[in-house]
Chains A and B, each alone.
Chain A
Amino acid sequence: MSYLMLSTIILLMGILGIILNRSNLIIMLMCIELILLASTILLLFGSYALNTLLGQVFAIMILTVAAAESATGLAIMVNYYRLRGTIAVRALNLLRG
């Protein structure tokens, strides 16, 4: 049960990090990693509690996806920095409705 609480809290922290963070895009990327990790923990706990392997398969897949995602995200960020000279979240508002 405490695993469930732990993963939920980490998930919420990740989400709150995205919402409340106004300064840095790297923090946002780290928060996304945090969310993915929280879901991985949740899946692992589920696989342990339900005594199936499917959760662990998904966890490994998520780790892969998270690695790919952070690599792509960092690449986008580096390119963005090269173009604009800043990666502040506040500056990312060119597409207003």
Chain B
Amino acid sequence: MYLLIILIPLLNSVGAGLGGRYLGSKGAGSLTCIWATIASLLSIGLCYEILINGSIVYLEFGRWIESDLLSSGLGLQFDIVTAIMLIVITTISGLVHIYSTSYMREDPHLPRFMSYLSLFTFFMLVLVTSNNYVQLFIGWEGVGLCSYLLINFWFTRVQANKAAVKAMLINRVGDIGLILAIILIWKEFGVLDYCSLSSSIDSCHSSLPWICILLTIGAIGKSAQLGLHTWLPDAMEGPTPVSALIHAATMVTAGVFLLVRSAPLFDHSPTATIIVGLVGSLTAFFAATVGLVQSDIKKVIAYSTCSQLGYMVMACGLANSGSGLYHLLTHAFFKALLFLGAGSIIHALWDEQDLRKMGGIIRGLPLTYTLMLIGSLSLAGFPYLAGFYSKDLILELAYNGYCLIAIYWLASITAFLTAFYALRLVYLSFINGPNLTRARGRYISQEADWVLLGPLLVLAIGGILVGYIAQNTVFAGGIRPLPLVPSTVAVMPVILSVGGILLVFILPTLVRSLPLFNFLVRAWEFTPIANYYIGRPMWKFGHIVSYRTVDRGVLETLGPTGIAKFIITLTQNLSSLQSGYIYNYALITLLGVGISLALL
């Protein structure tokens, strides 16, 4: 059963990818859906065994790399963290598979799409089930690759190509951090599997802070934290199910998963922990402010993903990675719900993504409205929905966390902003007066079929219940940590989220009058600044130094072209000595005789 969960997506991918032309769109779609559902049911059974019965499974397959200095095995480790990640990945992936068969029905390349989705699921499972860092790295690179393939699914679009290349390259920056961290771990501890590592740590390792900082850089790249976040909003060029699977629920959580996995390392390095907390809280704040003013429905959700990832990373930076994992679990459900709901809206409006050109579709799409409202309220942290439990816990921990109080304030402001933009999305698309163009308005439109809405219903149930159900199972000790905070702080998240929700309905046009509106729309000018101060100098360096000076300059002048040119010139000069005049020949002969006589 344990191996089956990992192998089913791989076989699915190979089957749909290689046999797609024989199966056809319908065949490939339904087959992959059935198997993905089986895999998610299996993983629920596995979660029952691990989380409820408390049986942690450790499978060793043998040695992979074996030398005197480094030995690394192939193995699987199913513990609490893995079980939580498994249920997130397989459930969301199974639902996205089913959703895609309806959403992408018109697409001629559905088998390829299903193949990529399954391959992505496989790599994500490899990432979370590995028992050492090297095997984790396979999955880490694999999900990067699959995100490239999936963002670039409509490969004829220039923007999709650019976004895919951007995602791949920016992820590479973080991957370098992870590789360096793995090398440092190997140098410092000599082992790469989690069990031996966590038992051999103590604080006297001098390079421990560096290991942790490099791991943080890896997480920053993959989880789109501040600095390397620019790929995530651009990745919305892919189809909507891809955004739901990759950029909401699974791939971006790999960075958080890395932090949770490496929690024993971080526990011994307070410096790195504080850095992680600061990065997370700043990302949460930054993305929330940008999410306020975006007009593309998918970009709003993308920035909210970025912001919630900031929460998770911040929770890891509060030395309480369990609560980060808890938020990851609840977030996966309501964010996938939001993305798939947005897909439903886009589907109903004939590919209209602009919030300013929506409005009033509550009459046409009542069920989608209900589901989106559940997702948004859950994201906003409305009491007794999934997001409330995890976000409330993180906020209280931030107050209680024996660390910078600035983190708490940033997180609180973010909670307020999150509630505002989550409900703004619902308000602008459903409740506001209609702003559709007439051509689109004529087609407006009824709900999609049940294949598309069914996954949304399941996710909505998850978005309501999962926070309550999982609140004691996620944490390592089996008990939710109870932060000791004053009662004002304890009710603060509720006040903030309800205040944010109400503010949308009182002042729906508040966003337009914000100071720095353009600054926020352009995402704090991150991309222009990065292009100007990093991209352009790099580009120039590449052109002038490495291309013109080194490649075409030094290497060619001292290399083949230069030598050939020199020899040709030399022989031309030598042969022009033979001028055809006899007296010159006589002179040369005389000189030659003279020189050889002198040498004798």
Give the residues in chain B near A89, CB-CB below 8 Å: 581-583
Type the 1/0 row for A8-33, where 1 means its CB is closer than 8 Å to any CB of B. Answer: 00000001001111100000100000
Asked if B587 lies at the interface with its beta carbon under 8 angstroms from chain A, I say: yes
Known: A15-B590, A19-B590. Is A97-B583 also a contact (CB below 8 A)? no
Give the residues in chain A near B590, CB-CB below 8 Å: 15, 19
Contact A92 B580 (CB under 8 A): yes
Rounded to whole angstroms, the CA-CA distance of A19 and B577 in the bound complex is 15
Find the A residue at minimum CB distance from B575: A97
Give the residues in chain A near B587, CB-CB below 8 Å: 19
Type the 1/0 row for B559-600, where 1 means its CB is closer than 8 Å to any CB of A. Answer: 000000000000000011111111100110010000000000
CB distance from B179 to the nearest CB of A (A): 61
Chain A positions 54-97 with a Cβ under 8 Å from a chain B Cβ? 89-90, 92-97
Give the residues in chain B near A18, CB-CB below 8 Å: 582-583, 586
Contact A94 B581 (CB under 8 A): no
Contact A93 B583 (CB under 8 A): no
- 28 interchain pairs (CB within 8 A)? A15-B586, A15-B590, A18-B582, A18-B583, A18-B586, A19-B586, A19-B587, A19-B590, A20-B583, A21-B583, A22-B583, A28-B582, A89-B581, A89-B582, A92-B580, A92-B581, A92-B582, A93-B580, A93-B581, A94-B580, A96-B578, A96-B579, A96-B580, A97-B575, A97-B576, A97-B578, A97-B579, A97-B580
Rounded to whole angstroms, the CA-CA distance of A23 and B343 in the bound complex is 99
Find the B residue at minimum CB distance from A12: B590
Contact B586 A97 (CB under 8 A): no
CB distance from A21 to the nearest CB of B (A): 6
Contact B583 A19 (CB under 8 A): yes
Rounded to whole angstroms, the CA-CA distance of A19 and B588 in the bound complex is 9
CB distance from A72 to the nearest CB of B (A): 16
CB distance from A84 to the nearest CB of B (A): 14
Rounded to whole angstroms, the CA-CA distance of A1 and B576 in the bound complex is 42
Find the B residue at minimum CB distance from A22: B583
Rounded to whole angstroms, the CA-CA distance of A18 and B586 in the bound complex is 7
CB distance from A49 to the nearest CB of B (A): 22
Find the A residue at minimum CB distance from B588: A19
Find the A residue at minimum CB distance from B572: A97
CB distance from B431 to the nearest CB of A (A): 93
Rounded to whole angstroms, the CA-CA distance of A22 and B584 in the bound complex is 10
Give the residues in chain A near B579, CB-CB below 8 Å: 93, 96-97
Give the residues in chain B near A28, CB-CB below 8 Å: 582
CB distance from B597 to the nearest CB of A (A): 13
Give the residues in chain A near B583, CB-CB below 8 Å: 18-22, 89
Rounded to whole angstroms, the CA-CA distance of A26 and B579 in the bound complex is 21
CB distance from A52 to the nearest CB of B (A): 24
Rounded to whole angstroms, the CA-CA distance of A67 and B577 in the bound complex is 32
Contact B580 A95 (CB under 8 A): yes
Rounded to whole angstroms, the CA-CA distance of A19 and B575 in the bound complex is 20
Find the A residue at minimum CB distance from B583: A19
Rounded to whole angstroms, the CA-CA distance of A28 and B583 in the bound complex is 9
Rounded to whole angstroms, the CA-CA distance of A95 and B580 in the bound complex is 5
Give the residues in chain B near A95, CB-CB below 8 Å: 580
CB distance from B576 to the nearest CB of A (A): 7
CB distance from A4 to the nearest CB of B (A): 16
Rounded to whole angstroms, the CA-CA distance of A2 and B575 in the bound complex is 42
CB distance from B148 to the nearest CB of A (A): 61
Find the A residue at minimum CB distance from B581: A93
Contact B581 A90 (CB under 8 A): yes
Find the A residue at minimum CB distance from B590: A15
| Extra contacts besides A96-B578, A97-B579 (10): CB < 8 Å | A15-B586, A18-B582, A18-B583, A18-B586, A19-B583, A19-B590, A28-B582, A89-B583, A92-B581, A97-B575
Give the residues in chain B near A19, CB-CB below 8 Å: 583, 586-587, 590
Give the residues in chain B near A96, CB-CB below 8 Å: 578-580
Find the B residue at minimum CB distance from A90: B581
Rounded to whole angstroms, the CA-CA distance of A89 and B580 in the bound complex is 10
Rounded to whole angstroms, the CA-CA distance of A20 and B583 in the bound complex is 7
